[in-house]
Amino acid sequence: MKSLFKVSSMKTLEDVSNVRNAISNMEGVIACQVSLEKGEVNVVYDDFFIKEDDLILSIEDSGYSVL
């Protein structure tokens, strides 16, 4: 499964790193690409282990807003 999220509150490379770490450490995540310029996060994951809502919660729990 692949999902694209718009994250409005990423401003620095540290924010990119924080979002990437929040997602990539979750079981079932296969790949994660974060674009600061576009404010987007692309995630490829196995939906047997994780759901899209879990990914959104992980980003939001790290202090960022998902649109």
C-alpha torsion sign, points 9, 33, 60, 24: negative
In a domain, 26, yes or no: yes
Query: Tokens 């540290």 correspond to what residue?
Result: 14
Q: What is the CATH number of the domain that holds 38?
A: 3.30.70.100
Strand partners, 58: none
Confidence at 7, pLDDT banded by 50, 70, 90: very high
Enclosing domain of residue 18:
2-61
Nearest Cα neighbor of 3 from 61, 35, 51 is 51
pLDDT digits (tens, 9 = 90+) for 14-33: 999 999 999 999 999 999 99
Q: Looking at the 3D structure of the chain, how many domains does it have?
A: 1
Q: What pTM, to 2 d.p., does this model score?
A: 0.91
